[in-house]
Amino acid sequence: MDRHAVIFGYYHDEPVAFYVMVPDLNQIIRKFNGKMNLLNKLRLMAGLKIFKKCNQLIGLIFGVVPEHQGKGVESALVVRFEEEIFSGRVKYTNLEMNWIGDFNQGMIKLVEQIGGTIYKTHATYRYLFDPAQKFERAKKTL
Full pLDDT tens readout for the chain, 142 residues:
778 788 899 999 999 999 888 888 888 888 888 888 899 889 888 877 766 777 888 888 888 899 998 888 888 888 888 787 777 777 777 777 777 777 777 778 877 877 777 777 777 777 788 888 887 776 665 5
The residue extents of the domains of the chain are: 3-98
Q: Are 45 and 28 in contact (CB under 8 A)?
A: no
Domain 3-98 has CATH 3.40.718.10: no
Q: Is the pTM of this model over 0.85?
A: no
